[in-house]
Every structure is written in C-alpha cells, then in structure tokens.
Amino acid sequence: MAVKKIASDTLDFILESCRSSHPHEFGALLEADGDVITHIIYLPGTDATTQSVSINTWMLPNMRHAGTVHSHPSGIARPSGQDLIFFQTGEVNIIVGSPYTRKSWNAFDRGGNKIQIEIVDYEFQDEGLLDEDLMGEDDG
C-alpha cells in the first residue's frame, strides 16, 4: 500500500526534533500503518553535523520502514545529490527545512520527485504498558 498521509502528531514530533537538533541535521526512518506515516525510528549510532546526517541502517531491527526524514538547517527543503542516494532506502522521504514549521517541509519519492502527503488526524493505539502496570498493584 502506498504511503499517502502523515499523522498530525507525528509531523509535529518531527518538526520539534528538527528544531531541537538545530544547527545540526536531524535524521530518522519513517514507519507507517497502512498508508499513514505514524512513527519515526531513531537508530543508535546516527551521526549528525551541520552539513549532513548519517543513519546506520545496519542497526535497524528486522522490520519494514516506509522511508526517511531529515532536516536541512539551511532552510532548503529540496534533495541534494547525496540525498537522492539516501532516498533509495524507502518509499517516502521527507526533508524539513529551517524554521521547521508545517510550511517548511516537502516529501519526495525515491527518484527525488516531489509528492503530496496529506496531514491527517490519526488515533494511536495504546501500544505500551499503562502507568498502573509499571507501578504494580495497589497496596491499599
């Protein structure tokens, strides 16, 4: 199934991650539920500078990913030649330019062609333990 959407909360998390990493680039992999990008996968050993980000895909657990996301602190949200090589790892590749707002990102296919990704509300399923599970049973 082709990825055509991104969860609003996921996009906001990506934008905040890019802001927090500035002036260094931010980079991660994208995970989708059906046709909606829902999560990012930040891999151990990811190395970022003000000019580039290197993601060690050999650290990826045995799981499928939908594409990549990375920031361009320069503000230019278009792929470079190096980005086009990086894009081969996924179906959808997002570049977020400074100032990291909902107006400063673009999505691209593997060939570097701009594609439209719709921002949607998405109801996340509770995938983890509840706070009560972490605290144990009440003594009371």
Residues classed as catalytic: 25
CA nearest 70: which of 62, 84, 60, 61?
84
How many Cα atoms are found within 13 Å in the side-chain-facing hemisphere of 46?
20
Report helix, strand or coil for 78: coil
User: Position of tokens 């190395």?
Assistant: 47
Phi, psi of 89 (to 5 degrees): -90, 0
- Please give the structure tokens belonging to residue 84: 């086009």
Count of CB atoms situated within 10 Å of the CB of 36: 18
